[in-house]
């Protein structure tokens, strides 16, 4: 379970102070699929980055399965990001000089614990690339495939360490509507198959309506959290 208690995030640029998030209180159950919506600059991505341990809060608490993220040491936080969280970004963030297979293997290389054999890593990466329907492109580089195939590869990379939580920041933002729908269908399929908590930041009404719950943020404040029926704003 993810619990946010009076979470605030303040950025300072020179003499200017910007409050990105204001007193956010939110509970996300294990295995839930939620969409975070709101206008550009509302704090959606900031909230996602805080949950994922990519940034630190200014005040309040974020508890994940009872662990307070702000009290984790650097090594513990790195383990949390690598093993418990999977990230999917709008811009894919694939390494252009590596093949798709090598890109998907990266999180395994950084995983803590016993060393993994190259053959074992390759086998697992191949299985996931096949699962997300780009198995026939595994030896290609990112420049040689479509945007949808890049995002499928990024999803395979995000789940290779079997994370409990999958965070997707505008995962269809650089895709056409049909390809975007196929990516959301894939995320929903993996959410059910792996029983992961899925949190998607989006401005797309159709994508938001696919979630089990919609959390709306405006000007850094949580203004509504409701079961998904029809998101019309």
CATH number reported for the structural domain that contains residue 112 in this entry: 3.40.50.300
Domain of 148, in residue numbers: 29-59+73-227
Q: Is the pLDDT of residue 192 over 60?
A: yes
Residue 1: pLDDT over 80: yes
Residue 112 has pLDDT above 70, yes or no: no
pLDDT over 70 percentage in the chain: 94
Give the integer Cα–Cα distance in Å for 166 and 150: 17
In whole angstroms, give the CA distance from residue 199 to residue 88. Answer: 10
**66 occurs within a structural domain:** no
- Number of domains, the chain: 1
Residue 10 lies inside a defined structural domain of this protein: no
Q: Is residue 164 part of a domain?
A: yes
- In this model, does residue 166 exceed pLDDT 60? yes
In what order do the strands lie in the sheet containing 67-68? 16-28, 2-13, 59-64, 67-68
Q: Is residue 24 part of a domain?
A: no
Residue 114: band (very low, low, confident or very high) from pLDDT cuts 50, 70, 90: very low
| Residue 94 within a domain | yes
């Amino acid at each position: 379970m993810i619990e946010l208690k009076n979470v605030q995030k303040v950025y300072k640029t020179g003499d200017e102070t910007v409050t990105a998030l204001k007193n956010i209180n939110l509970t996300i159950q294990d295995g839930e699929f939620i969409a975070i919506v709101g206008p550009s600059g509302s704090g959606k991505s900031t909230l996602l980055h805080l949950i994922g341990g990519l940034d630190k809060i200014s005040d309040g608490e974020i508890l994940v399965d009872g662990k307070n993220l702000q009290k984790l040491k650097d090594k513990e936080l790195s383990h949390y990001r690598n093993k418990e969280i999977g990230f999917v970004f709008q811009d894919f963030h694939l390494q252009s000089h590596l093949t798709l297979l090598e890109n998907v293997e990266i999180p395994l290389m950084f995983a803590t614990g016993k060393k993994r054999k190259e053959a074992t890593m390759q086998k697992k990466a191949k299985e996931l690339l096949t699962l997300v329907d780009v198995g026939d492109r595994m030896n290609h580089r990112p420049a040689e495939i479509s945007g949808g195939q890049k995002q499928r590869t990024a999803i395979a990379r995000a789940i290779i360490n079997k994370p409990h939580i999958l965070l997707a920041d505008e995962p269809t933002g650089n895709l056409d509507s049909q390809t975007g729908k196929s990516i959301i269908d894939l995320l929903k399929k993996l959410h059910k198959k792996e029983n992961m908590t899925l949190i998607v930041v989006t401005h797309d009404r159709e994508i938001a309506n696919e979630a089990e719950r919609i959390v709306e943020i405006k000007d850094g404040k949580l203004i509504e959290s409701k079961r998904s029926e029809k998101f019309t704003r």
